[in-house]
A and B are shown apart, each in its own frame.
Chain A
Amino acid sequence: MSEANGPKKRKMSLEKRHNLTGWAFLAPATLMIAVMSFWPMIQAFVLSLQTGKANKLSFGGLTNYIRMFQDKVFMTSLGNTFLYLIIQVPIMLVLALMLAQMLNNKDLRCKGLFRTAIFLPCATSLVSYAIIFRSLFGVDGFINSVLINLGILDKGYNFLGNAFSAKVVIIIALVWRWTGYNMVFYLAGLQNIEYSVYEAAKIDGASPMQTFFKITVPLLKPTILMTAIMSTNGTLQLFDESVNLTKGGPGQTTLTMSHYIYDTVFKFVPTFGYASAMSFLIFVLVAILAFIQMKVGDKRD
């Protein structure tokens, strides 16, 4: 078993050798990220300055960026994506936090059952849940059959055929799919907080609301920040839901940026440069929003 490394062989100091071993351990993963993530990101920027169809590309400067802001469809998709972001992410995170605080209660019965039930939506794939919601809210879907049986509607309402209700359905679906996921992170974060803090608050007569704002939120700040950044990142890249739940419609009223980018490359005549410019904007938006969130989250009270 022993390596039989005689003292003579150890020319290199032990520290230096460990240092090199460390680099060897982390090299494959680091190189993979460099090649599969950072290098393509640079490429995306280079591409975004080029115009032309398919592989006939030529330098076009900022043409693509100018075109982007004049492209009504892209602007619609940008607006849609931000609408989902502004409405869905806060609802989801607050809901997840409240549920986490409830489930963290030591006296609660059936805790595991509740946790499993609320976390379960995460086990379904994005395509699957998008299609489940599409079917539930279809003209001949479950929701309509309930509304008809209750006498609220005479015939099926086309939820996905109306711009407003289609957006609401997407937001409901997103909240359904991701609340449990974020809740698990908060529950994990709460495990690291001494439960006696909560017991002390209870003895002092703090209401659940006060406990929530005075204890849970401040102590979970780093976790909240992490989930906020992850959710923002995910929402700006929404794709599966737009494609499978509403197919971007009616018209382009629920189209997301990623969906439009995909279409410009793989559905229409590919315009790699233009698509890269749009995708680079997503990168810039993700970075700016993450920066703002970190600044806000870092503020000491």
Chain B
Amino acid sequence: MTKTKRSRIIMYIVLIIVSVISVFPLYWMLMAATNKSVDVSKGKLIPGTYFLENWKALFSQQDVKLAMFNSFKFAVILTLCALVICSLAGYGFEIYHDKHKDFVFSILLLGMMVPFVATMIPLFRMFTAVNLQNTTLGFILPTISTPFLIMMFRQNARAFPIDIIEAARIDGLNEVQIFFRMFVPTMKSTYAAAMTITFMNAWNNYLWPKVIMQGEDSITMPMLVANLTEGYVTDYGVLMLAVLLCSVPTVIIFFLLQKSFAEGITGAVK
């Protein structure tokens, strides 16, 4: 009995330490955003009163509003398109599967191994040839369809009862109607998980926008944050406020969809 008790205590200690380490850098960032750079350097860990000054300084140095708007625009459009296209495909591969489609699917899975850095250069040349740089289309096209999302939808579609489809067909619904009226509503947690992943990836993407969105008007939040470190002197307060603003949307999505995210992943790893 004492042995299990001791191992339980050790377990709690480990979990508490790991949790603190996980949260601390974010807590520090939050505190830094409210303090003067000098105080941040001194290691101040409590809320300060310098938040508004940091805010004014940041907004006067950088076009935060534009970057926020762009990031939202690109991420939302990309997420919507990706969810539609990939869920259709996942559903198609699972519900109508046969030997040929399974073969195509296994080829698509190989696409998971294609590193983005390798396709980036040809994509850059392709996109500049048709003037897609600094456009929404240019931002979203490369990642609109990903093998990972298709696989996730396919795995989760496995749990979708085939009887429902048969019954709906008898009721006279066509295949597209069955997809939108039967499948989509029952797969809410899969969509939530897919949405979380896609939105976060789109919002956080840095390499591709750095390549294709070089125009000043196409700046995104991660690019703005990175720009702030270009100078010789770092103002920690201003920098961390920018990091905070860049993190708020993804953290909100994370908290809202955390539960469904876990459920969606559970289906995918079966």
Binding site for B on A (CB under 8 A): 1-3, 18-19, 21-26, 28-30, 32-33, 36-41, 43-44, 47, 99, 102-103, 105, 107-108, 113-114, 116-129, 131-136, 138, 140-142, 145-146, 149, 176, 180, 184-185, 187-189, 191-192, 208, 222-223, 226, 229, 233, 236-237, 239-240, 243-244, 257-258, 261-262, 265-266, 272, 275-276, 279-280, 282-283, 286-287, 290
Contact of A131 among B122, B211, B223, B225 (CB under 8 A): B225
Neighbouring B residues of A265 by C-beta, 8 Å: 121, 124
Residue of A nearest to B71 (CB): A125
The DSSP consensus for interface residues of chain B is helix
Neighbouring B residues of A243 by C-beta, 8 Å: 206, 226
| Contact (Cβ within 8 A) B85 A40 | no
| Contact (Cβ within 8 A) B222 A136 | no
User: Could you list 19 A-B pairs, sorted by A, with CB under 8 Å?
Assistant: A21-B96, A22-B93, A23-B96, A25-B89, A28-B145, A41-B119, A103-B15, A121-B22, A124-B250, A126-B222, A132-B26, A132-B240, A135-B32, A135-B240, A185-B269, A243-B226, A276-B122, A279-B117, A283-B118
Neighbouring A residues of B222 by C-beta, 8 Å: 125-128
Q: How many A-B residue pairs have CB under 8 A?
A: 277
- What number of B residues sit within 8 Å (CB to CB) of A? 98
B66 to chain A, nearest CB (A): 17
Starting from the known contacts A37-B114, A38-B111, 19 additional A-B residue pairs (CB-CB under 8 Å) come to A18-B96, A21-B175, A22-B101, A26-B92, A40-B119, A102-B15, A116-B258, A118-B19, A120-B22, A121-B22, A123-B247, A124-B247, A127-B204, A132-B25, A132-B28, A184-B262, A276-B122, A279-B117, A286-B115
| Contact (Cβ within 8 A) A125 B247 | yes
| Contact (Cβ within 8 A) B250 A123 | yes
User: How would residues 211 to 253 of chain B score, 1 for a CB under 8 Å from any chain A CB and 0 otherwise?
Assistant: 1000000000111011011000010100110010011001101
Neighbouring A residues of B146 by C-beta, 8 Å: 33
Neighbouring A residues of B113 by C-beta, 8 Å: 229, 233, 283, 286-287, 290
